[in-house]
Amino acid sequence: MTSLTELATTLKSLHRKGDPVVLPTTWDAWSANTAVAAGFVALTVGSHPMADSIGRSDGEGMSFEEAMTRVAQITAAAQVPVSVDIESGYGQLAQRLIDGLLEAGAVGLNIEDTVHSEDGRLREPQEHADVIAALRAASDAAGVHVVINARTDVILKKVGDEADRVDRAIARLRLCADAGADSLYPVGFHDDATLRRLTDELPLPVNAIAHPATGDLAELAAAGAGRISFGPLWQAALTERSNEMLARWVKGSEQ
């Protein structure tokens, strides 16, 4: 079995500006195996689809322990580097988060600045950077370079004045880069000009979100993305297709 250190090194090396790693956003062993069988060499686990898969709500409706139970099933099934969306950290200390991820076989994490346990408030810029720094210190102490994808919700949630919203997102993420992040996630669907600005002005690979059925890998690569994930959109697309198939079998729906 490949060691956690080797998996983490591989995951970090896949993040390249203009030559992005595509990390299908999975939620269970089946989706992970499906993605690996399709040829993907690394995965991410999304909080939203994972929560749906166990009957919980997104926004930390599941516990950290429940999430890690699911992650352990995924890493046992798919022998590739796995990163995990840990939302805003489930109210856990950095050392517990890193230890829990490594125990579950994961070597990367995505952490956002929306604090779900505190009525969805947004962390202050330096506050979020301090969370990143604590995670990096805990990762160093564990002896595995866990790949940290630092996310800000400023653009997604349309926080503050639109005129300087991208400026503020960039400022937040630069602090996260200084604190030890490996990639940066200004989450949201951006037009080409905005994405190019983000990838030009941020010092680390930028995570772009894409719809698996309609997104364009070449366009995102040309805009400078270094990492691409699907959020809950792969699961949502499968749900839509399943609804179409299953509707034919519901009594009373015959045409």
Output the DSSP codes for 77-137. Answer: H--S-EEEE-TT-TT--HHHHHHHHHHTT--EEEE-SEEGGGTTEEPPHHHHHHHHHHHHH
Residue 231 has pLDDT above 80, yes or no: yes
pLDDT per residue over 156-178, tens digit each?
999 999 999 999 999 999 999 99
Percent of the chain beyond pLDDT 90?
A: 97
Q: Look at 80-84, 157-161, 196-200 and tell me which has the smallest mean pLDDT.
A: 157-161
Q: What is the mean pLDDT of residues 202-207?
A: 98
pLDDT value of position 251: 86
CA terminus-to-terminus distance, the chain: 53
Whether the Cβ atoms of residue 86 and residue 97 lie closer than 8 Å to each other:
yes
Residue 253 has pLDDT above 80, yes or no: no
> What's the Rg (C-alpha) of the chain?
18
pLDDT per residue over 118-131, tens digit each?
999 999 999 999 99
Residue 94 C-beta-side C-alpha neighbours within 13 Å? 17
pLDDT value of position 2: 72
Q: What is the mean pLDDT of residues 66-90?
A: 97
Burial (CB < 10 A; 0-12, 13-18, 19+), residue 92, is: middle
Query: Mean pLDDT over all residues of the chain?
Result: 96
Enter the pTM of the model: 0.95
Helix (H) or strand (E) holding 45: strand 43-45
Bridge partners of 185?
Answer: 151
pLDDT value of position 255: 52
3-class secondary structure, 62: coil
CATH class of 4-247: alpha beta
